[in-house]
Amino acid sequence: MPWLMSLINARPDDAIQQARDDTVSRAKDVWGLDYADSSNGLYPAGNQIGRAQLRPDIAYQGTIVFPRLAGGQWRTVWAAGGVPTGAITAVVPNALNGWGTWLDFIVDEDAFIIIEGFFSTATTPTIREVKFTLSGVETPVMQIEQIYNNGDDLVCGHLEVPAVVSPKSQVVINIRQGPIAAGIDEGFGIIGEVLGKRSFLIRQVL
């Protein structure tokens, strides 16, 4: 379970590898399938388990949170005053404190999700705080403004300990905007990976 954000733009490689190894072991037990060991999961064949980047359009069961009009991009859009715009996300911020629900979904039964951190492609980012509720368990609020001041073109921050979410589990991620009740249209997304059945990893959302 993640508790703190890293203050520097450095990947906690050992922690990520440990989370991946633990998830591979759990996935083998849950599905009774073999992991694509020869390629470290990158090229699963047949009915093997593999892994891939966490894309905004594949990790959900039922409703696609980021529909086809988003073109496969992580995007956060809402209008000033708390009125959602477009069909990209269902964010409705609170005009009094800036909090809104960014994502609320059930993980597909054929996938595990490993959340490693966040990134932003916004030139003027407005998202200040993030809070997880994973399978009904709330984590402390994370203040993330430090990720916007590292001097890199792709601004990101990593969790010290990745969060692993099991199949058919609920994920709720709230974000806080500042200035409060201003409009948002910015690239903001999750750094992570999906470990799942090959049939799940290769499918395209239309």
Specify the pTM.
0.85
Assess whether the previous peptide bond of 179 is cis (omega < 30° from 0): yes
In a domain, 8, yes or no: no
In a domain, 158, yes or no: yes
Domain containing 175 equals: 13-201
Q: What angle do CA 97, 102, 106 make, to 5 degrees?
A: 140
Q: What is the CATH number of the domain that holds 69?
A: 2.60.120
In a domain, 4, yes or no: no
How many residues would you count in the chain?
206
Q: For the ranges 24-28, 63-67, 96-100, 124-128, which has the lowest average pLDDT?
A: 63-67
Place of tokens 């995007």: 75
In a domain, 105, yes or no: yes
In a domain, 77, yes or no: yes
In a domain, 63, yes or no: yes
Q: DSSP 3-state assignment of 114?
A: strand
The structure tokens listed for 8 are 């520097």
pLDDT of res. 62: 46
Number of domains the chain contains: 1
For the chain, helix, strand, coil in percent to 5 are 15, 35, 50
The structure tokens listed for 58 are 């594949």
In a domain, 138, yes or no: yes
What is the SS3 assignment for 74-86? CCEEECCCCCCCC
What's the average model confidence in pLDDT over 141-156? Answer: 81
In a domain, 1, yes or no: no
The per-residue pLDDT for range 23-69, each reduced to its tens digit, is 999 999 999 999 999 999 999 999 999 999 998 775 554 444 554 55
What's the average model confidence in pLDDT over 88-114? Answer: 75
CB atoms within 10 A of CB 80: 13
